[in-house]
Structure 1
Amino acid sequence: MSGKLTPKQAMFVKEYLVDLNATQAAIRAGYSAKTASEQGARLLGNVKIQAALGEVQQKRGNRLDVTADRIEKELAKIAFSHITDVIDWREITLESNEDEPNHSAAIACQSIRLKDSDTLSPEVTATIQEISQTAHGVKVKLYDKLKALELLGRRHGIFIDKVEHSGTIKNQNLSEAELDKRIAELTKKLS
């Protein structure tokens, strides 16, 4: 791990990676349950701990071949998928038997056929969330195309959340000495 962490800090890093819950990680690492929330937040703000977390996450990502590029490719498969990659449908007309007198009717209906799985590419099968048999036929469900488009759009800066802040902002002009004093007080409270 990066830098020199204390044994407790190293344990926090290990425990944090279990569930990404700083409070619980602090408790499991041996910090007081009373102040675990504050300790967890403080530890996450520690540069050495951030570096250690980044290092471990990078190793995990490398081991699992999880890269931004791979994730984007998977999202793109879903975002740009089409139901016609999985099924064929067309309208057909069923004619009545002409041999029967007074029966000259025709019925139009939809014919839906699931494509043979052997003909589907891995890119197409990756977009299928569910195929199941129901009382009325076969149900085909693809992964959420809109969600994939939204995630890709956010990644590429197409969709940007507008956040509004309300409330008052208290602006204080503190001298260097006053600022140092406040930082020391807060640090003492957190220790």
Structure 2
Amino acid sequence: MIIRKINPKQQEFADYFIELGNAEEAALRAGYSKTYARGQSYKLLANVGIKTYIENRMEELKSERVADQQEILESLTKVLRGEEKGVALVGVGMGEQEVQDIKPTLAEKIKAAELLGRRYGMWTDKMKHEGAVPIVIEDDVSE
């Protein structure tokens, strides 16, 4: 794959466009003239180098922000094992409370186990059958 270089001003435009979602405003913030930003900023988005930069950067941001399947399974496992902690207000007397770390409740552990079990198909409400089921049709034609 050929990656086309973009200049610093174009990169700044692309970064602002990712942040704002508005080509005209991104062009203005990147230092393009008001006239160019208003009438020609769409050309920046059509530039192959800028377009590729935006696509690659969006993919990076997506992978940083969105939990993948492995991360979700690991998190559920930590809850099930009591390794993940939450916070709760706990009364300490005299009408005062403080925030304390607490381990998952039994209900939270059961829910995590249920979700993991469902993911691995450990139990289902319906019978799951894979494969071919032969169908035999007999013709009982009396002559």
TM-score normalised by the chain length of structure 2:
0.44
Q: Counting helix residues as a fraction of each chain, which structure ranks higher?
A: 2
